[in-house]
Amino acid sequence: MKNIFFIALLATSTSVVSANPTVMAGISYNFGSRDLGLTIKVLSNDEGKEVVGAVGATYYPASKENVFGIDAGIGYTFDADAAVVVSWDFLRKDSQVSIGYADIDDDSAPVVTEISDPVTETETDPVTVTETDAVARLSL
């Protein structure tokens, strides 16, 4: 029953993907076996402060059995190039939480705006002084 609920939750949370995916690398913790692992996941969105879908693989260096895991879950991305994911490990049949570095798009980057034509601006600028006016004022 837990698996059906989790798969339905995952399917509804990742049905609309409107951004570029990104990769997350970090550490994971399995609750049942209490193992720490090194994980790599693909996240469905590379924008900060978003709920994302995730699929990944984990290596458990201290585990004596089943040293690899394959998982899917949901997570949250932060603006500080970080993400947290809660997932289900299908090979180990265990719930997992992961945190790590993710290449998140920075929304604070400067926006390039169109530069207007300086000739057009000087024609409508009332404070514009032409060269002839400047010479005439200096000769007074």
Identify the three-state secondary structure at position 67: coil
Q: What are phi and psi of 131, to 5 degrees?
A: -65, -40
pLDDT score for 17: 47
Those residues with Cβ within 8 angstroms of residue 83's Cβ, 6 or more apart along the chain or in another chain: 24, 26, 43, 52, 54, 75, 76, 77, 99, 100, 101, 102, 104
Those residues with Cβ within 8 angstroms of residue 84's Cβ, 6 or more apart along the chain or in another chain: 75, 76, 78, 97, 98, 99
Rg of the chain in Å (alpha carbons): 27
Could you count the other beta carbons within 10 Å of the beta carbon of residue 130? 9
pLDDT digits (tens, 9 = 90+) for 31-89: 998 999 999 999 999 999 999 999 999 999 999 888 999 999 999 999 999 999 999 99
What ranges do the domains of the chain cover? 2-107
